[in-house]
């Protein structure tokens, strides 16, 4: 075929095989198909049946881009795969609230306007011991706190805590966007409470402590405790803001909890609603009622507030954390007995003809970076990686030493059966 043999967009759109499709969509798809056909002809290739390709283009347009995937990587809070899988109770709450109207900002008792923050504030206070709580969009909690408490003034931060989390998100940049001025204290590996004390001046507004959630400095190191920084802050009448990053509400060895930070004297604590909490992506602030109120009244709060689906899913997750944490998938995977994981891997290996292989799982999501969780995987041939990844549902594993490892700590029993079916389909 030559370029002059290609039909016009209108001619292609009038093909009888496309007659049942909406004309605007057909025209847009035909343009895409013809543009690619011109490139193929120029490269010496035949473009094939253009009407069939237009139908395929329409099908691809309608297909959802955001798809459910099976995580066989062994990374529990996998950022690229959507981080924390939501508990069934959280999904049920989001579905119930999202399918119709709700009392998002309506006080049913008073018959007047209410606050969307009221729906999760009480349970957050109970779980953390805080006076008040506020929920905003993911990663926005620290920015809002600094904008409300330190705009135009100094924030003291240890040099060892000027961290970068995922995708270039840096604490110094957050400070700059909030309108506050960064003042570094101490050194990369050693900072003491006295360094903060000596740096405090008339322009100081906040002492900021940032948990090194996604890395560790080892060797000749020193960092002040929450209690030590709180004492400094109290002597100078300044608030201490503690950014815990991942944040936990149940005890996990090596990771500070919001309740412990508040008990140690922090005035505000910021942490994530997903990651180690296991809920939807959100930023949570808990602490002194007067400071939380300043955040709530700041103009930036409206732009950063969470929507009804996030609040509903978070409420459902927090209710489980309160008395049934084993039903939160992230917490279940973290604590699942090794024998249970091994049994799942052995069952998957029998179903696929693969080999059982010892491996190590990770927490992920910038949490507990040194933690290694014993795990067991089903090892299959490396050539299955692409067909599994592009199948339905997509299965993502780890390539290692010429094999594809399907780690069973991040799969449920039902998901392992889906993986077995996907392996059979990929081989077929």
Can you list the alpha helix ranges (DSSP code H) found in 168-307?
A: 171-178, 193-199, 226-235, 258-263, 289-297, 299-304
Lowest mean pLDDT among 23-32, 147-156, 169-178, 371-380: 169-178
249 with 340, same domain: the answer is no
Q: Give residue 215's pLDDT.
A: 61
Q: What pLDDT sits at residue 166?
A: 59
User: By CB neighbour count within 10 A (0-12 exposed, 13-18 middle, 19+ buried), where does 47 fall?
Assistant: middle
Give the helix/strand (H/E) hosting 156: strand 154-158
Return the DSSP state at 187: -
Domain of residue 263, CATH code:
3.40.640.10
Q: Per-residue pLDDT for 309 more than 80? A: yes
Give 179's pLDDT tier (boundaries 50, 70, 90): confident
Q: Let me know: does 244 contact 296? Beta carbons within 8 Å.
A: no
What angle is formed at CA 357 by the lines to CA 354 and CA 361, rounded to 5 degrees?
120
Q: List, for residues 184-230, the tens digit of each pLDDT value.
A: 998 888 899 999 999 999 999 999 999 875 566 776 778 899 999 99
Q: For position 255, what pLDDT does the model report?
A: 81
Residue 130, domain extent: 88-324
Same domain, 249 and 318: yes
Give residue for tokens 């959507």.
82
Read off φ and ψ for residue 11, nearest 5 degrees.
-65, -45
- Return d(Cα 126, Cα 132) in angstroms, integer: 10
Is residue 168 very low, low, confident or very high in pLDDT (cuts 50, 70, 90)?
Answer: low
Query: What local confidence, expressed as pLDDT, does residue 1 receive?
Result: 77
Same domain, 312 and 345: no
Residue 212 has a pLDDT of 74
Residues 234 and 174 in one domain: yes
Model confidence pLDDT, tens digit, residues 52-71: 999 999 999 998 899 999 99
Task: State the Cα angle at 321 between 161 and 287, rounded to 5°.
Answer: 45
| Rg over CA atoms, the chain | 26
For residues 262-274, average pLDDT = 95
Q: Which of 114-128, 199-213, 329-343 has the lowest mean pLDDT?
A: 199-213
Burial label for 235, CB within 10 Å (0-12, 13-18, 19+), is exposed
Examine the domain organization and report whether 267 and 137 are in the same domain. yes
241 vs 161, which has greater pLDDT?
A: 241
Q: Are residues 305 and 225 in the same domain?
A: yes
Residues 51 and 198 in one domain: no
Indicate the angle between helix axes 23-42 and 50-62, nearest 10 degrees: 120
Give the helix/strand (H/E) hosting 134.
strand 132-136
Alpha helices (H) in 1-102, listed in sequence order: 9-13, 23-42, 50-62, 88-98
Look at residue 38 in the predicted model and tell me its pLDDT.
94
Q: What is the pLDDT, as a whole number, of residue 419?
A: 98
In tens, the pLDDT along 361-420 reads 999 877 777 688 999 999 999 999 999 999 999 999 999 999 999 999 999 999 999 999
Q: How many domains does the chain have?
A: 3
pLDDT band with cut points at 50, 70 and 90 for residue 170: confident
Model confidence pLDDT, tens digit, residues 149-166: 999 999 999 988 777 765
What percentage of the chain reaches a pLDDT higher than 90? 79
Mean pLDDT confidence for 250-257: 80
Q: Mean pLDDT, to the nearest integer, of 173-184?
A: 84
Same-domain pairing of 337 and 276: no
Domain co-membership, 118 together with 266: yes
Alpha helices in 268-392 (DSSP H): 289-297, 299-304, 308-323, 329-335, 338-352, 385-389
Alpha helices in 6-49 (DSSP H): 9-13, 23-42
Cβ distance 277 to 317 under 8 Å?
A: yes
Kindly report each contact of residues 271-274 with a partner whose C-beta sits within 8 Å and lies 24 or more positions away, as own/partner: 271/141, 271/243, 271/244, 271/245, 271/246, 271/247, 272/138, 272/139, 272/245, 272/246, 272/247, 273/135, 273/138, 273/310, 273/314, 273/317, 274/77, 274/83, 274/84, 274/138, 274/365
Distance, C-alpha 243 to centroid of its chain = 16
Residues 207 and 134 in one domain: yes
Dihedral angle, C-alpha 420, 338, 252, 247, nearest 10 ° = -10
Q: Are residues 210 and 102 in the same domain?
A: yes
Q: Answer whether residue 99 shows pLDDT above 90.
A: yes
Instruction: Give the pLDDT of residue 67.
Output: 94
From the number of C-beta atoms within 10 Å of its C-beta (0-12, 13-18, 19+), residue 393 rates as middle
For residues 81-89, give the mean pLDDT: 94
- For residue 222, the cross-strand partners are 190
Partners of 356 in the beta sheet? 378
Q: Look at the block and give the residue holding tokens 């939380």.
A: 292
DSSP state of 189: S
**CATH number of 422's domain:** 3.90.1150.180
Question: How far is Cα of residue 310 from the mean position of the Cα atoms in its chain?
Answer: 12
- Give the single-character DSSP code of 238: -
Mean of pLDDT values over 254-280? 92
- Backbone φ, ψ for residue 375 (5° rounding): -145, 175
Instruction: Give, for 272, the enclosing helix (H) or strand (E).
Output: strand 268-272
Residue 145 sits in the same domain as residue 284: yes
Provide the percentage of residues in the chain whose pLDDT is more than 70: 97
Rounded to an integer, the average pLDDT of 117-136 is 96
Residue 3 has what pLDDT?
86
Contact 47, 16 (CB under 8 A): no
Task: Report CA 368 to chain centroid distance, whole Å.
Answer: 15
**Cα separations in angstroms, 324 against 245, 327, 332:** 23, 6, 10
Residues 350-362 pLDDT 10s: 999 999 999 999 9
């Amino acid at each position: 075929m030559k370029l002059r043999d290609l039909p016009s967009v209108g001619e292609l759109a009038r093909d009888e095989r496309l007659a049942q499709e909406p004309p605007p969509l057909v025209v847009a798809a035909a343009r895409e198909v013809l543009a690619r056909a011109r490139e193929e002809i120029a490269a010496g290739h035949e473009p094939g049946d253009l009407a069939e390709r237009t139908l395929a283009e329409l099908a691809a347009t309608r297909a959802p881009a955001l798809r459910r995937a099976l995580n066989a990587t062994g990374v529990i809070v996998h950022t690229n795969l959507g981080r924390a899988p939501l508990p069934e109770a959280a999904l049920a709450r989001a579905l119930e609230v999202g399918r119709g109207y709700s009392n998002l900002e309506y006080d049913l008792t008073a018959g007047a306007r209410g606050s969307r923050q009221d729906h999760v504030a009480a349970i957050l206070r109970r779980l953390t011991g805080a006076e008040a709580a506020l929920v905003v969009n993911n990663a926005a909690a620290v920015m809002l706190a600094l904008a409300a408490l330190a705009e135009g003034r100094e924030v003291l931060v240890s040099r060892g805590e000027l961290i970068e989390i995922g995708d270039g998100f840096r604490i110094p940049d957050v400070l700059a966007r909030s309108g506050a001025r960064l003042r570094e204290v101490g050194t990369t590996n050693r900072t003491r409470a006295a360094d903060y004390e000596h740096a405090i001046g008339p322009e100081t507004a906040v002492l900021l402590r940032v948990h090194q959630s996604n890395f560790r400095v080892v060797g000749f190191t020193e960092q002040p405790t929450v209690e030590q920084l709180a004492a400094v802050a109290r002597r100078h009448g300044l608030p201490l803001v503690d950014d815990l990053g991942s944040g936990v509400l149940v005890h996990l060895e090596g990771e500070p909890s919001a309740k412990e930070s508040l008990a140690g004297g922090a005035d505000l604590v910021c942490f994530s609603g997903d990651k180690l909490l296991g809920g939807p992506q959100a930023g949570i602030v808990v602490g002194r009622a007067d400071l939380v109120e300043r955040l709530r009244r700041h103009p930036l709060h409206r732009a950063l507030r969470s929507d009804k689906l996030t609040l509903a899913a978070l409420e459902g997750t927090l209710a489980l954390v309160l008395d049934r944490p084993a039903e939160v998938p992230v917490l279940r995977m973290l604590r699942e007995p090794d024998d249970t994981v091994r049994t799942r891997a052995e069952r998957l290996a029998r179903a696929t003809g693969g080999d059982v292989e010892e491996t190590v799982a990770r927490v992920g999501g910038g949490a507990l970076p040194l933690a290694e969780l014993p795990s067991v995987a089903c090892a299959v041939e490396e050539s299955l990686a692409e067909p599994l990844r592009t199948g339905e549902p997509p299965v993502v594993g780890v390539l290692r030493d010429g094999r594809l490892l399907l780690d069973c700590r991040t799969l449920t029993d039902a998901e392992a059966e889906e993986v077995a079916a996907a392996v059979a389909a990929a081989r077929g």
